[in-house]
Amino acid sequence: MYFSLSRLVSLDVKWADLFDTSNPTFFDQHHNPYYELIVIADGTVHLEVSESRHTLQTGESLLLMPWEVHRGWNAQERQGQFFWVQFSCNPDLQEFVLERASQLHIAHAERTELRTTEVHREDLLVLPRRQQSLQRYKLLGLFEQLVQTMKQSKDYFRFHATLLLGEILLLMAGDFLEQRQLGAASPASYLTFRALADHLNNFYESDVSKETLERVLERKYEYLCQVFKKYTGTTIHHYVHQLKIQRAKHLLEQTAKSVKEIAEEVGYPDPFYFSRIFKKLVGVAPQHYRNSKP
DNA sequence: CACTAAATGATTCTCCAACA
DNA sequence: TGTTGGAGAATCATTTAGTG
């Protein structure tokens, strides 16, 4: 079973601690209103979670859903210690159906965020319900820090705890990716795409013609379009317009420059054309946009 | 998989005029 | 000063077929 976590999530650590299974309450029923992540710190832990019984070794992790009932079992065997953290998460974790291994690849590299203000897609972290970490000491180290942080309750400890939890989740998701032997090498086309996007980001107001792009990147334009579309879902010039308009909006709000000057500055020699594009992308004409802002 | 050539359809861009 | 619209030319985007 797998879960996906949105990149745009807000996390909140509720509590974290180290639990020793010699504590007699280990065999009582436990449940809580939050997500709970358990990582075995030492020894073996026998844990029963809603009817299914797990035997977890050091470094293994188990992700519990809110209100999921869990308790220890197998009282005969000696058991160890585990870290746990309870957290809330918005949006919630989604159950993730992993049909093909390639889905992970898509989550990892297929679409990329550009430098515009709009969010084109959410990258999802994929977290397995149960997993043995490849970097168990790093994981346990992070947990140790998390528990310390929550105990000290000073400075920005809640903020720090959130970052630590994020790092823990990222580490686990990264491990999972690696275990799938995916996400290792970036394809060459991705590097081409990066170079292209960098060029657009830097020169969008001056020179992004077909010829220049071919010359700078030493690839045929047809290919560049193909690659750009593949990673972003949009076209080169649509992206350039977005960059220009984004800057124009800023200039309209923050300066007293005329529309004509702004058009010139962001890369539209023809102010008539600038107006038209602005209207198309923003919904209102430049001057109206400026007037509507306080 | 990375890339090119060629063909074709799509859109963007320029320039002009009319109007608020 | 700024917005909107049209017409035609210039560019751009996409597809298909093909190479190593």
How far in angstroms lies nucleotide B4's C1' from the CA of residue A180? 34
Query: What span, in angstroms and rounded, lies between the C-alpha atoms of A216 and A243?
Result: 20
Strand B bases, protein C-beta under 7 A? 1-7, 12-17
Partnered with residue A95 across adjacent β-strands are A3
- In this structure, are strands A45-49 and A35-42 parallel, antiparallel, or unpaired? unpaired
Closest alpha carbon to C1' of C11, residue: A210
A99 and A38 in a common domain: yes
Rounded CA–C1' distance between A222 and B18, in angstroms: 40
Are residues A63 and A27 part of one domain? yes
**CATH number of the domain within which A243 lies:** 1.10.10.60
- Quick one: A52 and A105 in the same domain? yes
SS3 of chain A: helix, strand, coil, percent, to 5: 45, 20, 30
Question: Straight-line distance from CA A207 to C1' B2, in Å?
Answer: 26
Same structural domain, A28 and A155: yes
What is the domain range of residue A260?
238-292
- Mark whether A39 and A114 lie in a shared domain: yes
The CA angle A143-A58-A184, to the nearest 5 degrees, is 75
Per-residue pLDDT of chain A (294 residues; tens, 9 = 90+): 899 898 889 999 999 999 999 998 999 999 999 999 999 999 999 999 988 999 999 999 999 999 999 999 987 877 899 999 999 999 999 988 776 555 565 555 556 677 877 665 667 888 999 999 989 999 999 999 999 999 988 889 999 999 999 999 999 998 888 777 554 566 788 888 888 988 888 888 888 888 888 888 889 999 999 989 888 888 899 999 999 999 999 899 888 888 999 999 998 988 999 999 999 988 888 999 988 876
> Which residue's CA lies closest to nucleotide B12 at its C1' atom?
A237
| Closest listed residue to residue A164, CA positions, set A153, A175, A177, A148 | A148
| Phi-psi label, residue A221: left if phi above 0, alpha if psi -120 to 50, beta otherwise | alpha
CA of A118 to C1' of B13 (A): 26
- Residues A156 and A261 placed together within one structural domain of the fold: no
Structurally, how many domains does chain A consist of? Answer: 3
pLDDT digits (tens, 9 = 90+) for A34-55: 999 999 999 999 999 988 999 9
Contact, A225 CB vs strand C, < 7 Å = yes
Q: How far is the CA of A30 from the C1' of C13 (A)?
A: 59
